[in-house]
Structure 1
Amino acid sequence: MPHDTTDGDVYVSPRHLARATAVSDPGLDPLRDLGWDLHHDHLGNAYLTAPDGKVRLGYLPEGDDDGLWRVTAYQDAFGPPAWGVCFNDAAPTEFVTAFTNALAEAYRQGPDHYLARPLAGSADRDPFLAVDPLINHGWQLDRPHLSTFAITSPDGLATLEYTIGDLDPAIELETRDARWHLWAGTSSARPFWYATASTDTPAPLLRAVTETLADPAPLPRWRHDSYSYVKGHAQLSPILPPSPPSPTPLDVRRAAASRRPAALPAASVPRWSTTSRPALPGPRR
């Protein structure tokens, strides 16, 4: 189902300061279009499962925490997760949709793509492929700690962190202490929104998110939903209504015809002929 209409009355710039939209369908549609099984629990949470059972997505508005989107992949459908990604309930929906679009494409190509572990030095699997789009758009690389690299947006209000060293897989999947931690705001302790990805998340899936994040185009939102959230940080620009289409030649002719006055009836003019009777003489005085 396409979602190409502008939904909002303002554009939010930079886009990493926009919040989630109220409609989740764009994030679910790429996988539903592949025929993934969809079901709901009694609370209203939605679950999508790939036909081979090796990838699962949970949309969890009634979950135990603020992890609204949780995606996990499995080498064995009945084994532990090979990798996991989480977007919280405020993460811009466009970033989630970028991820699920990339996941749908990887799933079409087979397990060697959606289960491909990052590999340093590989042309298409190097984990730092996810960093390139940000660096190319002016984000700054830093190393705040010996165990962490950080890439920060030009305005300082969005950060992608990469943790070096061994991590506990269970902790990566259940907390924000994951290999990749993407967040926006003035503090990582209380971010505007956040997303995490565990160690073996395929690099192309992460790159799809950072390419969308780095895009300078603003995102449409409703002012009453976003103003208190981004006040003092983001720019809100009114969305102008679209210009009317240019008239066609037929439209011009019809408009001219509608403005032309109706023709008046012809005046009655007496006409004389050789057969006309002469006028009668008037009375004599």
Structure 2
Amino acid sequence: MPPHLHPDHDTPVIDGDVYVRPRHLARATGTGDPALAPLTALGWSLRHDDLGNAYVHAPDDRVRLGFLPEGEDDGLWRINAYKDPFAPPTWGVCFNDSVPTEFVTAFTTALATAYEQGPDAYLARPDPRVPDRDPFRAVAPLTDRGWLFARPDPDVFSIQSPDKLASLDHTVGPLSLDDELNTREARWHLWAGTSINRPLWYATASTDTPVALITAVTECVADPAPLARWREATFSYAAGMAHLTPIEPDRPSAPTPLDVQRAVSLRPTPPRVTASVPRWSTTTSRPAPSRR
């Protein structure tokens, strides 16, 4: 989980004991609450079924999210948007059960912003003629961080992370919306691992998913900052791939030379003493050292 503020003060609280680098190898956390929060904060309705699945609906019922730990497949997060609440979805996004929760949170945060702006934002179809809606705007955060174009394929535009353990695939040509919503055969396919058939995690987005929402995810994926996780939960996937760095407990930092100089300048001048001042010797007890 990313750092958050302690409820009683402004000290960051980190949920984990190791940092995972690169972050696309961190995988999911144990709770989906951070990803639900941007939408419920807008007053979207939240309900649960008897199995523990959660459903979030926008007030106009044009955007719906399902958090489905007891779903029929590994699609843990399914988000759909509609021009008409009773019509088929206009676009759909799926994050499987291993996607780092921070990536889902980036999406729902951008979705909350778009929803407040209105249908022209959260139903904005990609359009290469419009700069803000050009699909390849979503690729820029990755290429800016060193992701490179991968296998040349006339049907798939693909770029890979520098360690070749994550990939973003953009399919060219016509696709069935039904396939995009229910399979991994979608316009956008983001995944991590050494095999596309058995990825560590994956996410898909259909053709008409707004570019701003996809860009929010790629920006989060491209962020070089590590993600905090618990060490015992990392061995199943990170061994030999991710870099794990212990999270040190908070310690007061050592004073810099400038700090010392300032302290000396602010210290009051002591009165002049003419009497002798006792000094430490082998027969006097040394005071306990002060804690830094």
Given the two structures, how large is their TM-score scaled by the length of structure 1?
0.85
Please give the secondary structure, in 2, of the residue aligned with 1:159.
strand
The match for 2:275 is none
Q: How is 1:49-198 mapped onto 2 (pairs within 5 angstroms)?
A: 49-198=57-206
Would you identify which runs of 4 or more consecutive aligned residues in structure 1 move more than 3 Å? 244-247
The match for 1:269 is none
* Distance in 1 of aligned mates of 2:93 and 2:85: 17
1:75-113 CA deviation, whole Å, 9 max, x = no partner? 001000000000000000000000000000000100000
Compute the displacement of 1:142 (Å).
2.9
Deviates more, 1:3-12 or 1:102-111: 3-12
What amino acid does structure 1 have at the position aligned with 2:221?
Answer: L
Give the total of aligned pairs. Answer: 250
* Contact persistence 2:38–2:109 (CA under 8 A): yes
The match for 1:224 is 232
1:145-175 CA deviation, whole Å, 9 max, x = no partner? 2100101000000000000000000000000
* Distance in 2 of aligned mates of 1:246 and 1:137: 33
2:22 to 10, 14, 18: 14
| Structure 1 residue ranges without an equivalent (≥5) | 250-258, 260-285
Larger radius of gyration: 1
| Structure 2 residue ranges without an equivalent (≥5) | 5-12, 256-262, 264-286, 288-292
Please give the secondary structure, in 2, of the residue aligned with 1:124.
helix
Please give the secondary structure, in 1, of the residue aligned with 2:42.
coil
Compute the displacement of 1:141 (Å).
1.4
Please give the secondary structure, in 2, of the residue aligned with 1:67.
coil
The match for 2:216 is 208
Compute the displacement of 1:229 (Å).
1.3
* Distance in 1 of aligned mates of 2:238 and 2:253: 34
After superposition, the CA RMSD in angstroms is: 1.9
What amino acid does structure 1 have at the position aligned with 2:102?
Answer: E
The match for 1:279 is none
* Distance in 2 of aligned mates of 1:231 and 1:36: 40
Compute the displacement of 1:219 (Å).
0.4
Compute the displacement of 1:245 (Å).
7.8
Percent sequence identity over aligned pairs: 64
Given the two structures, how large is their TM-score scaled by the length of structure 2?
0.83
* Contact persistence 2:62–2:84 (CA under 8 A): yes
Compute the displacement of 1:122 (Å).
1.0
The verdict on how the C-alpha distance between 1:246 and 1:34 changes in structure 2, with shifts beyond 3 A counting, is farther
What amino acid does structure 1 have at the position aligned with 2:138?
Answer: A
The match for 2:271 is none
* Contact persistence 1:71–1:85 (CA under 8 A): yes
The match for 2:244 is 236
1:43-64 CA deviation, whole Å, 9 max, x = no partner? 1100000001000000000000
The verdict on how the C-alpha distance between 1:58 and 1:204 changes in structure 2, with shifts beyond 3 A counting, is same
Compute the displacement of 1:244 (Å).
3.6
* Distance in 1 of aligned mates of 2:132 and 2:185: 26
The match for 2:273 is none
